[in-house]
Amino acid sequence: MVDEKPLYDGSFSVVGGNFDNAGEVSSNIKTILKKIGLPSDIIRKAALVAYESEINIVSYARKGMIRLCVSPQCIMIEAIDEGQGIPDIDLAMQPGWSTANQKIREMGFGAGMGLCNIRSFSDVFNISSEVGKGTHLKMIIKTNSNTLQ
Partner 1 sequence: MTLNEIKDLLDAEVIIGENQLDMEVKTAFVADLMSDVLAFATAGSLLITGLTNPQVVRTADVLDIAAVIMGRGKKPSPETLQLAEELNIPILSTKFILFEIAGRLYSHNIRGCIEKVGTK
Query: Which residues contact partner 1 by CB under 8 A?
Result: 19-20, 22-23, 26-27, 30, 40-41, 44, 47-48, 51-52, 55, 106-109, 111, 113-114, 116-117, 120
Q: How far is the CB of 50 from partner 1 (least distance, A)?
A: 8
Q: Cβ of residue 118: shortest distance to partner 1, in angstroms?
A: 10
- Of 108 and 132, nearer to partner 1 (C-beta) is 108
Nearest to partner 1 of 86, 118 (CB atom): 118
Smallest gap from residue 39 Cβ to partner 1 (A): 11
The distance of Cα 43 from the centroid of its chain, to the nearest Å, equals: 13
Question: Which residue lies nearer to partner 1 by CB, 48 or 92?
Answer: 48
